[in-house]
Amino acid sequence: MLLAKVHVSLKPTVNDPQGLTIARALGRLGFDSVDSVRAGKYFEVKIEGNDRATAESEVKLMCEKLLANPVIETFIYELETI
């Protein structure tokens, strides 16, 4: 079994209202050292089998088709054997 750890983040040039809101809320809670926050998504996908090459290309496709919006988001992933 393989575990794909997928990070989906907004592209740096894309406005991130969720991150801005969290940064303001942290400021109000007294965390004055917070400069900025970017919010993203994190998925753990368990994949049957142990064929890393196939899994690697499948995870890339999953990101492009469903997990990320390639217009405004970037994704990175890593594979682990579990």
Binding site for its own copies (CB under 8 A): 1, 7-9, 19, 22, 25-26, 29, 31, 33-49, 54-55, 58, 61-62, 65-67
Q: Which residue has the tokens 């575990």?
A: 3
Residues 6+ apart with CB under 8 A from 28: none
Minimum CB distance to its own copies, residue 15 (Å): 15
Minimum CB distance to its own copies, residue 56 (Å): 12
Q: Toward its own copies, which CB reaches closer, 44 or 80?
A: 44
Distance CA 74, CA 69 (A): 8
